[in-house]
Structures are given as C-alpha cells and as structure tokens.
C-alpha cells in the first residue's frame, strides 16, 4: 500500500487532541473536553474522524524491560533496490517496530521487541544474514531511555497546565512481570485499539468485565503497560525526520542524554551499546530547521565528539501501525 500523496496537516484542535491522548490515551472524552474547552460531542466527533481516516490511533504498549522483552535497534544494509521489500517483510513481523528506510535508500532501520533472546538471535544471526539481498547487519542494545515511553512527545500544542491536568501518575512497580495468557489476550486487543472498552476485553479473555478492569489498572499503575497516540509527524507539520548517533565520553553520557532528551525536537533518546553510545530521533519542520538543530543545539553540547545524522526517507511501520506515508493501518494477522 503506497501513495505519493502528502499526509494532511491537522488543525490546532486536532493537534491538541493528539497531544492530550499522547499524555493519557484512555482519558475519558468528558475530561478531554473539559481540558480542551470544547464539548464532549466535539471531542468524540474529532477522535472518530481521525481514527477512521487513519490519522490517529491510540495503542497499548508493554514496557519492554518490565515484561522481559529483548529490545535492540538494527541497521540493515541492502543491495540497491531491495530495501523496500525487506522493510515491508520486517514490518509485518509482530516482534518488529519502528521500521524505516533511511538516507541513500539502501539501509533499513528497525527495533526488535523479542519475547526471548533466542527469538531475537534467530532473526539477527540466521534469518537476516541468510537473506541474499542483505549485505550487512549491525545491532545495538538500549541501556537507558532519556525520552520516550509513557507521557508521549510534547510538541507544544498543549500548555503546561493542560498537560498537568491530563498526566497520569508514573508507574510505581519494579522488576520483571511476564505476561500471562489473560494479559496477552487483553494486550492483543489494546495494541489495535487502546481505547477498547471493557466488554470487548472481557470477550477476548473469557473473563468478567470487573476482572479485566482490575487487571488493566494493575498493568498501568505498575508501569507494565502504557498507552500512546500513534500519529504521522507530517500531519503535525514535521516534514524532516532523522536518526542521530553520537559518541560521548562515559562520564558525560548521562548529562548529555538528559539534555538531548529535553529538546522539544526529540521524541526519543536513549543510551546504547556500541561506539556511538547516544541515539535520538529528531523531528523538525523542514531541512533548514534540522540544520539549525544540529549546528546550534547539538553543537552547544561540547562532550559530543562524533555525530552521525541519518535522514529518514520513508517510515514503513511506527510503534504498532503500518503506514503508507499518509495513513496508519493495521498489520495483517501474523
């Protein structure tokens, strides 16, 4: 599914609604209406239109470290002309997220979320290297996240008071919590529609509505599962996306990572293994803004001694949804 159309840009109220759902994906529409200063009917109508048109999707995501998932970023070098087919094949795997074709058109980047080390290693050491169109694979593990996960990306359409009124308390649990069959069945529904009602979750699990409500509250209150609003950056006016890899002295890594994670242009930043030990995703209005971000904001961080900026040519899959460049849509069944 491909198109040459440009993703339509959302108006201010739509952008505020997206930002609010990034802050709390399951907040009641009545509360959203109160915070945004509009009627319940307006919020409901706007949300349904955005979801129906494939411009917005609320999804549930497990915190990888809490559920025992093995998470790595892969950079896959391909023969000329093969990146599209390889990216499409990876995007249809349930254990792969954030698939993009990067600058030059011969590199695919993706993130693994494997349920076991064996599942990840099978992809990394056997399936990808055994593909004749793949010429090289590199992997790095995320050690610490500076920006990303619960709470969403603050792109400036809500003021601090509105965000504070919607923000959920952070999860308080610690340690690994392997998901059981009931929780996996719930998550399978919520990964497609994070606002699915308790009757639908009860039907999917064979449990009562009170049981699935209690289970979901436990998962979210403990920080095991969180909700995010999936949207294409272009619909918010961000046409330039890049991946940043930086080399930082270990003694400076935490301070530099926190600084980069505080930048409004950065929805995700993490410390990683590898020679380049700081990774970030950067979203800017256009290439000129990206240049200014790199030279001014990153340039002011003296501990960065080496920097690689890789432009994203096309997103194929985001956290949970496939994309044709203008819309989000469900992956086919595995």
Q: How many CB atoms lie under 10 A from the CB of residue 278?
A: 25
State the Cα–Cα distance between residues 47 and 188, nearest whole angstrom.
21
- Right CATH for 232-316 from 1.10.3130.10, 3.30.70.920, 3.40.50.1820, 3.40.50.12280: 3.30.70.920
> Is the sign of the CA dihedral 60, 258, 318, 10 positive or negative?
positive
- Residue of 75, 84, 58 whose CA lies nearest to 2: 84
The pLDDT-based confidence of 150 (bands split at 50, 70, 90) is confident
Q: Give the three-class secondary structure for 243.
A: strand
Tokens of residue 219, six digits: 């998962």
Least confident residue range of 138-147, 148-157, 182-191, 199-208 = 148-157
What does the pLDDT read at residue 331? 75
> DSSP label at 5?
P
Read out DSSP for 140-167?
Answer: EEEEEEEE-STT----SSS-HHHHHHHP
pLDDT value at 4 more than 50: no
Q: Region 75-87: what's the mean pLDDT?
A: 94
Contact 230, 318 (CB under 8 A): yes
The answer for residues whose C-beta is within 8 angstroms of residue 8's C-beta and 6 or more apart is 55, 235, 326
Higher pLDDT, 245 or 125: 245
Place of tokens 């109508």: 45
pLDDT tens digits for range 191-241: 999 999 999 999 999 999 999 999 999 999 999 999 999 999 999 999 999
Please state the pTM of the whole predicted model: 0.90
Tokens of residue 100, six digits: 């993009």
Q: Exposed/middle/buried for 184, CB within 10 Å: 0-12, 13-18, 19+?
A: middle
Contact 330, 267 (CB under 8 A): no
Q: Strands of the chain (E only): list them.
A: 57-62, 70-78, 96-102, 107-114, 134-147, 225-230, 240-248, 268-272, 278-284, 304-317, 322-323, 328-329
The pLDDT-based confidence of 301 (bands split at 50, 70, 90) is very high
Task: Give span(s): CATH 3.30.70.920, the chain.
Answer: 65-145, 232-316
Task: Give span(s): CATH 1.10.10.2890, the chain.
Answer: 12-63+158-230
Cα angle 229, 62, 269 (rounded to 5 degrees) comes to 65
Torsion of CA 277, 283, 287, 289, to 10 degrees: -100
| Protein fold of 65-145 | Alpha-Beta Plaits (3.30.70)
State the Cα–Cα distance between residues 154 and 295, nearest whole angstrom.
22
Contact 186, 204 (CB under 8 A): yes
The number of C-alpha atoms within 13 Å of 14 and in the hemisphere containing its C-beta is 20
Q: How many CB atoms lie under 10 A from the CB of residue 323?
A: 22
The long-range contacts involving 104-107, CB below 8 angstroms and separated by at least 24 positions, are 105/80, 105/313, 106/77, 106/78, 106/79, 106/80, 106/82, 107/75, 107/76, 107/77, 107/78, 107/83, 107/310
What does the pLDDT read at residue 1? 37
- Right CATH for 12-63+158-230 from 1.10.10.2890, 3.30.70.2190, 3.50.50.60, 1.10.287.610: 1.10.10.2890
The pLDDT-based confidence of 69 (bands split at 50, 70, 90) is confident
């Amino acid at each position: 599914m491909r198109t040459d159309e440009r993703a339509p840009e959302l108006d201010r109220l739509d952008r505020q609604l997206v930002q609010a759902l990034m802050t709390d994906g399951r907040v009641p529409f009545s509360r959203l209406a109160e915070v945004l200063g509009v009627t319940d009917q307006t919020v409901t109508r706007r949300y349904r239109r955005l979801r129906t048109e494939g411009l917005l999707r609320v999804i549930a995501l497990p915190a990888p470290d809490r559920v025992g998932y093995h998470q790595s970023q892969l950079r896959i070098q391909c023969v000329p002309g093969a990146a599209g087919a390889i990216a499409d094949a990876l995007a249809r795997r349930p254990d792969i997220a954030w698939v993009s074709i990067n600058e030059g058109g011969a590199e695919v980047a993706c993130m693994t979320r494997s349920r076991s080390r064996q599942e990840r290693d099978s992809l990394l050491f056997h399936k990808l290297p055994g593909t004749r169109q793949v010429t090289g694979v590199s992997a790095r593990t995320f050690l610490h996240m500076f920006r990303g996960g619960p709470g969403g990306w603050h792109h400036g359409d809500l003021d601090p008071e509105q965000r504070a009124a919607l923000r959920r308390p952070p999860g308080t649990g610690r340690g690994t919590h392997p998901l059981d069959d009931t929780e996996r069945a719930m998550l399978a529904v919520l990964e497609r529609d994070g606002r699915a009602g308790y009757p639908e979750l009860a039907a999917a699990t064979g449990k009562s509505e009170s049981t699935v409500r209690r289970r979901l509250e436990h998962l979210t209150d403990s920080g095991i599962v969180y909700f995010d609003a999936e949207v294409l950056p272009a619909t918010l006016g961000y046409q330039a996306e890049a991946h940043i890899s930086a080399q930082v002295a270990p003694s400076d890594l935490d301070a530099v990572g926190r600084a980069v994670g505080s930048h409004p242009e950065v929805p995700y930043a993490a410390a990683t293994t590898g020679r380049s030990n700081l990774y970030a995703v950067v979203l800017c209005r256009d290439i000129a803004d990206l240049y200014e971000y790199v030279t001014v904001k990153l340039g002011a961080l003296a501990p960065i001694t080496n920097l690689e900026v890789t432009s994203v040519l096309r997103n194929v899959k985001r956290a949970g949804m496939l994309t044709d460049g203008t819309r989000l849509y469900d992956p086919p069944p595995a």
